[in-house]
Amino acid sequence: MPSPDPSRSAAVAIDVGGTFTDVTLLDRNSGRVWNAKTPSTPDDPSRAFMDGIDQALALAGIGPEALGHVFHGTTVATNLILEGKGAEAALLTTAGFRHVLEIGRHDIPRKANMYSWIKPKRPVPPERIHEIAGRLDADGKEIQPLDEAAVRAAARAIAKQGIRAIAICFLHSYANPAHERRARELVRAELPDALVSISAEVLPVFREYERSMATILNVYVMPAVSTYVARLSDRLKARGVPGPLLLMKSNGGVASAATARREPVQTALSGPAAGAMGAAHIGALSGHRNLISIDIGGTSADICLIQDGQPGATVEGRVGEWPLTLPMVDIVTIGAGGGSIARVTEAGALTVGPHSAGAVPGPACYGRGGIEPTVTDANLLLGRLTPKLLDGRLTLDREASKRAVADKIAKPLGLDPAAAARGMLSIIDNNMVGAIRVVSVERGHDPRDFALLPFGGAGPLHATALARLLGVRTIVVPAAPGVLSALGLLVSNLKSEFARTYLQRPPDYDRAGMEAVYTDLERAAREWLAEEAVPESGRAIARMAALRYVHQGFELTVPWSGVEGTIEAFHRLHERLYTFAQPDTPVEIVTLRVTATGSLPRPAPLELPKAGPIDAARIDRQKVDFDGQPIETPVYDRNRLGAGARIKGPAILVQLDTTTLVYPGQEGEVDRHGCLVLRETA
């Protein structure tokens, strides 16, 4: 797929957000980048998608025929799941298990109160779940043949209801997919236009509730994602774009439109995954391969730990109320952002978030009718933000912020407004520190061994305080923190995982059997790479395995290096994560995995011209409240800082889409690729 044709040397990335669609166009040869921003069009996101591409092409002065690749991060699947607006879907399940979704894991969540908790409504109600006789045992051996007549009858009943999205999940299909495959054939014979997913292809891993849910969510989002992706492809074709459309998956890799249409649930974390990939790339460019990235927007913060240039991965994710145990980038999201609202509860506690004022009405200082004090209001009140944002397009009303903080927070708590605002920031910062600890300390990493990489509109404003709370000494602020997700898309590779549960108990590990499973998985991986048209030279295939101590219920995934080496690596990881290893205890091998990667050409990085005198970049000064100390602080225009420019705190750096706050005691330098690398001097 990497195109040798120099006329197709451009790539474009489109990140569709709730308010704006960001488009970044890259000339792979020169490394030059053009950014365009256009209002999103939620009724038909493909409109803003094309508008944005056209704008970017115009800025770059090139035609659509130059586009060798079109990368896209989409929230279509995420929003369908979170808002419960997916397709009417049906499920075929093993006889006796019609209520597999209703019952779930039969728990009331640990954090819930049993007297007020309400069980969330399932994406498929029981009347659309059809029981099919036929049973396999845990090894995949057939005990009872598939009731083919029942499958046909169910398909006809589904057809009568006008439903065309069908999931099939039978017990133990991870060990043997024969029944599911046969059922799919029968359903397709009855319903040729139906979208059908079988669990053995979506998630061939044991635990039927989680596997059923993943399969259902796949068909639940399939019609909308499929229509959407098809429309994008058509529009690109009509526009004369020659390059393929590639969509970001939750695992941080991209896949073709065809793959995304077949496994749309793989795009559930598409947006945040793109951000993590962008952070990894920028970090590596600036010489930092161990990073904690934090993307702070208006309503939420997404946090990811990046080790040796690779974002962490998990197979225990959730989307909204539902478990989604597919491989995905390990991102922790919390309801903390610039729009997070502060409140004093009836009991006298100050809380900040998760409720957000969003874009409308927005923080009080936006003057759009918001009266609740938000994190942005606290920042403005303390002088940490300048009164004008977005190159002067947005003027902030500091008095409105002060009123909101004074009335709603300071008075009830008996504090002065500045102290109340500092309290709000302490709380939101500590919430974020808590989330950072989840991806670092709780995964056995010391955050002080990592650099912090903030992005998103509010990231660089909070990062310097977060770094101090965490004891992190280096902060890497990208050149364009607002479009890091688009950059992540541009630098991504094709990636897919293939897994199978294949339980091996000691001492008789079936080495030949495992080799056969790996061979199978690798065949599937190679077929996928071929389907994605990856040339031989760009292909990489790696083996992983999930292990646990006998009798444990959770597995840890480590790279495969033969039975003994893998077990040794498992002991070490267990010790790092859980404080102890148990070398006296036998180890089970549970799931075998293969990861397939197809490399795409890397863009040449941006080279910034040398810096001139720093004073030329200073545009203003204002008083900033640093932990109760008001300090006169210079304001710099970040765009006027060239390579090698040095900044000494206290300082404020403004640019189109973000503000960076540098504390006294912090110093930084802009590197040749435009990253501002800040360090503690003391």
Partner 1 sequence: MSARPRPGADPIATQLVKGALRSAQLEMETLLARTAMSAFIREKKDFFVALFGPAGEMVVGTSIPIFGGMIEPVLEHYPRAEMQPGDLYWYNDCYASKGAVSHSPDQVFIAPVFAEGQLSGFALSWAHFNDIGGLRPGSLSPDATDIFQEGIIVPPIRLVRAGETNQDALRVFVRNSRFPHMVTGDIRAATAAVRLGERRLGEMFARFGRASVLEAFAALIAETRGVVARRMRDTVPPGRYAFAEAVDSDGQGHGPFAIRMALEVGNRAVLDASASDDQAPGPINFIMHPDVPKLVLGIYFLSDEPSALLNHGALAALDEVKTRPGSLLAPRFPAPLGQRGMTLMRTSAACLGLLAVATGGKAVASGNVYVIYYLRGIADAAGTRFLLTDGIAVGYGARAFADGIDAVYLVANENYPAEFMDLSYPVRLLRYAINPDSGGPGRWRGGCGVIREIEVLAEEAMLSIRIDGVTNPPWGVGGGLNGRGGRCTVNPDRPDRREVAPVSDGTVVRRGDVVRIETGGGGGFGHPFEREPARVLADVLGGFVSVESARADYGVALTKDGSAIDAAATAALRRTRTPAALFHRKVYRERME
> Would you say 38 or 93 has its CB closer to partner 1?
93
DSSP 661: E
The closest of 479, 485, 434, 487 to 460, measured between CA atoms, is 479
Tokens matching residue 391: 């190159």
> Are 542 and 595 in contact, with CB atoms under 8 Å apart?
yes
Q: Phi/psi zone of residue 218: left (φ > 0), alpha (ψ -120 to 50 degrees), beta?
A: alpha
CA atoms within 13 A of residue 84's CA, in its CB half-sphere: 8
> Would you say 412 or 605 has its CB closer to partner 1?
412
Tokens matching residue 163: 């439903």
Smallest separation (angstroms) from partner 1 to the CB of 53: 43
Smallest separation (angstroms) from partner 1 to the CB of 391: 35
Smallest separation (angstroms) from partner 1 to the CB of 437: 6
Give the phi and the psi of residue 130 in degrees, each rounded to 5. Answer: -115, 130
Smallest separation (angstroms) from partner 1 to the CB of 32: 44
Instruction: Work out which of 110, 160, 393, 610 binds partner 1, going by CB under 8 A.
Output: 110
The closest of 554, 294, 318 to 440, measured between CA atoms, is 294
Smallest separation (angstroms) from partner 1 to the CB of 595: 23
Instruction: Work out which of 193, 564, 580, 628 binds partner 1, going by CB under 8 A.
Output: 580
Give the position of tokens 């024969």. 178
Q: In the window 118-147, what residues touch partner 1 (CB under 8 A)?
A: 118-119, 125-127, 135, 137-138, 143
Smallest separation (angstroms) from partner 1 to the CB of 324: 16
437 touches partner 1 (CB under 8 A): yes
Tokens matching residue 494: 């094709």
> Are 402 and 417 in contact, with CB atoms under 8 Å apart?
yes
> Would you say 267 or 501 has its CB closer to partner 1?
501
In the shown chain, the binding pattern of residues 397 to 416 toward partner 1, with x for contact by CB under 8 A and - for none, equals: ---------------xxxx-
Query: Which one of 76-84, 113-121, 227-235, 633-641 is the stretch in contact with partner 1 (CB under 8 A)?
Result: 113-121
Instruction: Work out which of 112, 230, 394, 516 binds partner 1, going by CB under 8 A.
Output: 112
> Would you say 432 or 654 has its CB closer to partner 1?
432
> Would you say 384 or 543 has its CB closer to partner 1?
384
Residues paired with residue 256 on neighbouring β-strands, in sequence order: 246
Tokens matching residue 401: 């912020």
Q: In the window 337-356, what residues touch partner 1 (CB under 8 A)?
A: 344-351
Report, in angstroms and rounded to the nearest whole number, the Rg of the chain calculated over CA atoms.
26
Smallest separation (angstroms) from partner 1 to the CB of 424: 9
Instruction: Work out which of 34, 209, 450, 455 binds partner 1, going by CB under 8 A.
Output: 209
**Cα–Cα distance, 462 to 454 (Å, whole number):** 8
Q: In the window 491-520, what residues touch partner 1 (CB under 8 A)?
A: 503
Give the three-class secondary structure for 409.
helix
Instruction: Work out which of 448, 578, 604, 612 binds partner 1, going by CB under 8 A.
Output: 578
Give the three-class secondary structure for 197.
strand
> Are 503 and 471 in contact, with CB atoms under 8 Å apart?
no
> Would you say 489 or 545 has its CB closer to partner 1?
545
The closest of 324, 278, 327 to 304, measured between CA atoms, is 278
In the shown chain, the binding pattern of residues 90 to 109 toward partner 1, with x for contact by CB under 8 A and - for none, equals: -----xxxxxx-xxxxxxxx
> Would you say 45 or 204 has its CB closer to partner 1?
204
Query: Which one of 149-157, 302-310, 427-435, 529-537 is the stretch in contact with partner 1 (CB under 8 A)?
Result: 427-435
**Cα–Cα distance, 98 to 88 (Å, whole number):** 17
Q: In the window 585-624, what residues touch partner 1 (CB under 8 A)?
A: 585
Smallest separation (angstroms) from partner 1 to the CB of 322: 15
**Cα–Cα distance, 511 to 545 (Å, whole number):** 13
Write the CA distances from 265 to 224, 528, 644, integer angstroms: 11, 17, 44
Total residues in contact with partner 1, by rule CB under 8 A:
73
Q: In the window 527-566, what residues touch partner 1 (CB under 8 A)?
A: 549-554
Smallest separation (angstroms) from partner 1 to the CB of 143: 8
Query: Which one of 75-83, 321-329, 573-581, 623-631 is the stretch in contact with partner 1 (CB under 8 A)?
Result: 573-581
> Would you say 118 or 193 has its CB closer to partner 1?
118
160 touches partner 1 (CB under 8 A): no
**Cα–Cα distance, 508 to 286 (Å, whole number):** 48
Write the CA distances from 614 to 391, 480, 635, 663, 675, integer angstroms: 20, 20, 11, 18, 16
> Would you say 171 or 480 has its CB closer to partner 1?
171
Q: In the window 57-86, what residues touch partner 1 (CB under 8 A)?
A: none
Q: Are β-strands 245-248 and 67-73 bridged in parallel, bridged antiparallel, or unpaired?
A: parallel
663 touches partner 1 (CB under 8 A): no
The closest of 68, 77, 62 to 8, measured between CA atoms, is 68
> Would you say 260 or 470 has its CB closer to partner 1?
470
Q: Mind giving me the DSSP string for 584-648?
A: TS-EEEEEEEEEEEE--PPPPPP-PPBP--GGGGEEEEEEEEETTEEEEEEEEEGGG--BT-EEE
